[in-house]
């Protein structure tokens, strides 16, 4: 499976998955969990629908660091850990696809 196909598959799972209710309005290690989700999701959506521009690539790089920092503090309640692990994987794949497009 190509990285683009994998990203598309993960994206489909993500848009069907409910946001972990207990993380709504909550900060983890100084990160607003809804904002972290929406920043990554917006950039991934752009990457899938066309080209990942440099601004979105930089946003993804920063949000990837943030999601890596919060993951150890997220419990598995209501699929929260899986939800954010998927976001992390999507960010990595979108960055790789963007890098491949510019190479």
3-state DSSP assignment of residue 31? strand
More confident residue, 98 or 17: 17
CA nearest to 87, candidates 4, 19, 5: 19
Which of 16-20, 30-34, 46-50 has the least mean pLDDT?
46-50
CA nearest to 71, candidates 102, 22, 36, 21: 36
Give CA angle at 25 (86, 63), nearest 5°.
Answer: 40
Look at residue 16 in the predicted model and tell me its pLDDT: 97
pTM exceeding the 0.85 threshold for the entire prediction: yes
């Amino acid at each position: 499976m190509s990285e683009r196909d994998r990203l598309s598959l993960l994206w489909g799972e993500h848009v069907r998955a409910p946001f972990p209710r207990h993380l709504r309005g909550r900060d983890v290690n100084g990160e607003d969990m809804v904002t972290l989700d929406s920043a990554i999701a917006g950039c991934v959506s752009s990457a899938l629908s066309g080209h990942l521009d440099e601004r979105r690539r930089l946003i993804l790089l920063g949000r990837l660091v943030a999601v890596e920092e919060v993951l150890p503090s997220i419990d598995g309640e209501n699929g929260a850990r899986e939800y954010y692990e998927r976001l992390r994987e999507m960010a990595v794949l979108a960055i790789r696809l963007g890098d491949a497009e510019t190479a």
